[in-house]
Amino acid sequence: MDENLRRDQLRDFVKAYGSWLIAGVVLFLAASGGLIWWRQHQVQRHEAQVEELAAIYNDIGAGNSAQAPQKLDQLSNDGSKAVRGSALFARAALALQQNDTKTAIATYKTIAGDSGLPQPYRDAALIRETALEFDQLQPQELIARLQPLAKPGEPWFGSAGEMTALALAKQGKSAEAGQLFAAIARDKGVPGTIRERAVQLAGSFGVDIGAALQSQAR
């Protein structure tokens, strides 16, 4: 009896809602297929953009850069995050190669201010923008701009710290500049050329870091 009742209830349910169930399954399959197609389309589009970027690099390397700015600008507007960031850096580098400092600074500023790009891209662009603008910036403006990066242990501590120390020196804060150069010289994560320069600059501000480095090396 219970079995017959359940069978009758199932038959009635299918009669009442069967068409809706079928429609739901069809919509689900259509949506799934559409999502798979979209992902595949995105992958293919990204691959095409990477190939186009590589072709632009080859053209620049071969000295055929006449159309490169327009192509890079298009990729920087339409590409994925990685392609966009790479295209913008290439655009800035090309501008510097052509002695167009204004465009290079503007491009680095765009990268640094783009919250959609990975933070390492933005930090690198900020360093390069600041280096190009160094002589035009007020010392306090430069110090404030680089403050998040001019700390021991930060990936860009060497470059950011060096520019910050020079800005401190411009303000007449020789002792602070010397100590910052000394901190750069002691940081093993900083590139060797910057550390060597920091040792000399620290000494010029009265901070002898040589003995400390020798004991650190033992």
pLDDT recorded at residue 34: 47
pLDDT recorded at residue 80: 67
Most confident of 12-16, 25-29, 86-90, 189-193: 189-193
What digits encode the pLDDT tens for the residues 106-138? 999 998 999 988 898 899 999 999 999 999 999
> What distance in Å separates the CA atoms of residue 98 and residue 62, rounded to the nearest whole number?
15
pLDDT over 60 at 36, yes or no: no
> What distance in Å separates the CA atoms of residue 68 and residue 124, rounded to the nearest whole number?
22
pLDDT over 90 at 61, yes or no: no
> What distance in Å separates the CA atoms of residue 181 and residue 196, rounded to the nearest whole number?
10
208 vs 14, more confident: 208
What digits encode the pLDDT tens for the residues 166-181? 999 999 999 999 999 9
Instruction: Kindly list the domain boundaries of the chain, sorted by start residue.
Output: 1-130, 137-212
Least confidently predicted of 15-24, 72-81, 154-163, 201-210: 15-24
pLDDT over 70 at 22, yes or no: no
Contacts of 166 (CB under 8 A, 6+ apart): 134, 177
DSSP SS3 for 188: coil
SS3 letters for 25-89? HHHHHHHHHHHHHHHHHHHHHHHHHHHHHHHHHHHHHCCCCCCHHHHHHHHHHHCCHHHHHHHHH
pLDDT over 50 at 153, yes or no: yes
pTM score, whole prediction = 0.69
pLDDT recorded at residue 46: 47
Average pLDDT of the chain is 77
Q: How far does the chain reach from its first CA to its final CA, in angstroms?
A: 91
